[in-house]
Structure 1
Amino acid sequence: MEIDAILGDELLEEVLRRLHPHSFFPSSTDDVSLVSKRWLRLYRSSKSRLDLSLSPENCTAPSLSSFLSHFPHLSFLHIVISTVGGCGGDAISAFPDQILHSISLSCTKLTTLYLDHATVSLSPLLSLSNSCPHLTRLSISLSTSVSLHWLRFFRSLQTLSVCFKFVPGESKHLDDDASGGKYFDAELKLENLTMLYIRRGGYGFDWLWRSCKNLKKLQLVRCQGIGDDTSVSSFVNCFKGLQEVELQRCGFVVLEILSKVLVNCTSLNSLLIFNMASSYGLLHQFITHSRCSLQQLDLCLPHDLINYHLSAVADRFRGLLSLRLTLCHLVTGEGLRTMVLAMTNELQELALIDCKVEPGLLTILGQRFRNLRKLDLSYNGKLVDDEFIALLASCNCLRELRVRECEGLTNASVISMFKSCKQL
């Protein structure tokens, strides 16, 4: 206790701050709060990150505001909202808005906010923009009837994730804020944008695409479209500096997006396509005619990718550093072999997940890609020890290695990992 008396608040707070979040024993950092009320106060004051699970049954807006006020330096807040009976529909629907209002009152230094499993409305978002001017990352869910014009009030926002939830019977007319009138293009600072569940013909995206002139990464997940007819024509406005595109389970809209990227985007260096509808030749056209210099390509196309696509990839994208192929059932072992032989030896990451990795391919991989840093051969039951051990001896720069469900490998392969892969 004499040492405790000697340590001033600022010094003790700095000590507590250095204990987390990268402590080897995270639970021990929580134990310091049990020493005394002073340590509890300083421990809370030292925390910059908080993860909470809340529901109307265990939390009210005043109690949350009071709780958050004990964390004056909070910059990262992740809240998962759950509902487990006991509350009426009105209480449940109003709860996320109450949470946002509480955050606005207590977390003025916030830079990152993730709010999961809850739909918020316009008013608390406007309050949040006024109270948290330093917010750079935001993840929320919105009703499809809420417009996106509130984004112009978040002047520091760089990363945004929005999950759209359709409510049966809701109006197609978008909510407006108090300013009224026509909205003009804004110069949003958004660099990373993730959109989930955009409906075909959805309203309100025209303004967003016209205002995203600094976008570097675009991720679309389970989207049926990119907006109404006006939005489609404005979509190319965000392509000028676009570097990464991820399209996950977006069906036929992938074809529309790929065709626009092919014509309008020259800065793309990373492309991920997961489970698209049949490309009707557009994928091959994109590969062979793209003006982009792709460095990362990630494809999960069980029903569309075939051998001649891989040959085109090896021929067209000579600067490829990362290639990930998943569930490419129509690609044969010979197709993989031809692709590997045609590629340059600069590849640093390779994934052949649940592909036809047949005998002899690993030997070629080891000879061809001695600079590999990451390798994923998961779900390939035909892998055997001899070839795999020879591969490890050649690729001794590996830092990440995944062989999940490779049932043909035994303890001999595990021992070889330790002997050959010193940087693993």
Structure 2
Amino acid sequence: MDALLCDELLQEIFHRIPPPSSAVVSLVSKRWRRLLRSSTTSLSLHFPPPYDPTTIASFSAFLTHHPFLSSLSIAGPGGEDPLLLAVASSCPNLRHLRFSCSPVSPFSLYTLSTSCIHLSSISVTISRPPSFHWLGDHGLSFLWRNCKNVKKLQLKSCESIGDYSSFSSREGLLQFINQSRCSLRRLDLRLPLDLDNSHLIALSENLNFSGLVSLRLQSCCLVDGEGLKALGRAVADSLEELALINCDVVEREPGLLTTLGQSLKKLRRLDLSYNDMLLDKELVSMLVSCNCLAELKLRGCGRLTNATLGSMIRSRNQLQHIDIKHCCGIEVDGVEFFVLNAPRLRRVEVEQSKLSGVARRWASNKFMEVVC
């Protein structure tokens, strides 16, 4: 018992030793070296050639001596499958892996996914050639079938991500949504030319995505209200951020924003920037239901007027941050009225020409941040 307590005390001390000095610890005794390795949770290694069986076996044995390793970064000019297979067989508790070596095969990635079931972050990069042509659609599907805890996946220069040959990203994205078992929290799609209702409806039907916290869509031209309403109902209890930036569905379908506002009661951040045909009545009808809203971005919404700001004051909003730059219909008196009467406002983004002297003094006295 005394030896166990002593070991735990030493490990706690090792955690507090700065990295430059920790290497000396292993030289004291074999016991200290064993304790240091068992207390190590993160390693960053540069692995030079040769990559012969003897070297790979030694590398695997070295990793085995670090049973609680959770984060590993490996860089080197080669290594390929043998290095990754050594990691898969020796690091069962691995959660974060950055493998900056040569291309690896689907087989080694499959082995990694079945052996390291706690992985939540994988980064695979290559130097030459700059593509992932060697990794086909079918070979990649095991990632979302087996790695249930993945929260971050970085792939560079990929052609598609489906289970069969895709001529665009539409099928690949739909395949990912339908088969994914990870609990997606944030989705940000910018200029997704193939995104349509089938993707949004698939998101709403996959229970793993019911905890979605943030949904950001920019320049989506193929979605309509049906898909957004279905998704809004599915994530009503979790969604805190919604961005529909330059999405013409906001202008095409009257009443859409009203329905979304009635569903998304927990919404705290809303970004409707650059919807230049958005009207006061559409926005106000949504904001009436969003009682928790703290941040609102309306940059570039040219048809909004002072009436929107007045309605927000009358509805006793909780706004702390508002962006109304490049809103041609909002004038100096509207900005002044809003700044003076919004009780929780802490930051406002607006053109300098629309700030009256009264509004400036009030903002200064209230320590309000004004961004021009």
TM over 0.5: same fold? yes
Query: CA shift at 1:209, angstroms?
Result: 3.5
User: Which of 271, 275, 286 in structure 2 is aligned with 1:299?
Assistant: 271
Which of the pair is proportionally richer in helix?
2
Distance (Å, rounded) in 1 between the aligned partners of 2:174 and 2:300? 34
Per the alignment, residue 88 of structure 2 pairs with 104
What amino acid maps onto 2:20 in structure 1? D
Contact 2:151 2:184 in 1 (8 A): no
User: Which of 121, 141, 153 in structure 2 is aligned with 1:148?
Assistant: 141
Distance (Å, rounded) in 2 between the aligned partners of 1:127 and 1:78? 18
Q: How does 1:145-184 map to 2 (within 5 A)?
A: 145-146=137-138, 147-154=140-147, 156-157=148-149, 159-161=151-153, 163=155, 165-167=157-159, 174=164
Per the alignment, residue 312 of structure 1 pairs with 285
* Aligned: 1:219 with 2:209: no
* Aligned: 1:247 with 2:247: no
Deviations 1:297-338 (A, max 9, x none): 332532446342432332242x23332316435265626523
Per the alignment, residue 273 of structure 1 pairs with 243
Q: How does 1:24-423 map to 2 (within 5 A)?
A: 29-33=18-22, 35-38=24-27, 45-49=38-42, 62=56, 71-77=66-72, 95=80, 100-113=84-97, 121-138=105-122, 143=135, 145-146=137-138, 147-154=140-147, 156-157=148-149, 159-161=151-153, 163=155, 165-167=157-159, 174=164, 199-203=168-172, 205-206=174-175, 208-212=176-180, 215=183, 217-222=185-190, 223-225=192-194, 234-238=202-206, 241-249=210-218, 251-253=220-222, 255-256=223-224, 259-263=226-230, 265-266=232-233, 267-268=235-236, 269-273=239-243, 275-279=245-249, 281-282=251-252, 284-290=254-260, 291-299=263-271, 301-304=273-276, 306-308=278-280, 309-317=282-290, 319-325=291-297, 327-330=299-302, 334=306, 337-347=309-319, 349-352=320-323, 354=325, 359=332, 361=335, 364-365=338-339, 367-370=341-344, 375-377=346-348, 381=352, 387=359, 390-391=362-363, 393-394=365-366, 406=371
Contact 1:75 1:111 in 2 (8 A): yes
Query: CA shift at 1:126, angstroms?
Result: 1.7
Contact 2:200 2:230 in 1 (8 A): no
Distance (Å, rounded) in 1 between the aligned partners of 2:197 and 2:59? 40
Contact 2:267 2:292 in 1 (8 A): yes
Cα 1:264/1:299, change in 2 over 3 Å: closer
Contact 1:76 1:111 in 2 (8 A): yes
Deviations 1:112-166 (A, max 9, x none): 4466899765322321123212234556687562352443333x52635465744
Bigger CA drift: 102-111 or 353-362? 353-362
Cα 1:248/1:70, change in 2 over 3 Å: farther
Query: CA shift at 1:352, angstroms?
Result: 1.8
Contact 1:298 1:325 in 2 (8 A): yes
Per the alignment, residue 420 of structure 1 pairs with none
Name the larger-Rg structure: 2
Cα root mean square deviation, aligned = 4.9
Which of the pair is proportionally richer in strand?
1
Per the alignment, residue 413 of structure 1 pairs with none
What amino acid maps onto 1:273 in structure 2? A
Query: How many residue pairs end up in the alignment?
Result: 339
The TM-score, its normalising length taken from structure 2, stands at 0.66
Contact 1:49 1:77 in 2 (8 A): yes
Distance (Å, rounded) in 1 between the aligned partners of 2:300 and 2:161? 42
Distance (Å, rounded) in 2 between the aligned partners of 1:101 and 1:216? 28
Per the alignment, residue 192 of structure 1 pairs with none
The TM-score, its normalising length taken from structure 1, stands at 0.59
What amino acid maps onto 1:110 in structure 2? L
Distance (Å, rounded) in 2 between the aligned partners of 1:234 and 1:108? 33
Query: CA shift at 1:45, angstroms?
Result: 4.8
Cα 1:59/1:394, change in 2 over 3 Å: farther
Distance (Å, rounded) in 2 between the aligned partners of 1:44 and 1:353? 55
SS at match of 1:262: helix
Cα 1:204/1:306, change in 2 over 3 Å: closer
SS at match of 1:32: helix
Query: CA shift at 1:280, angstroms?
Result: 6.2
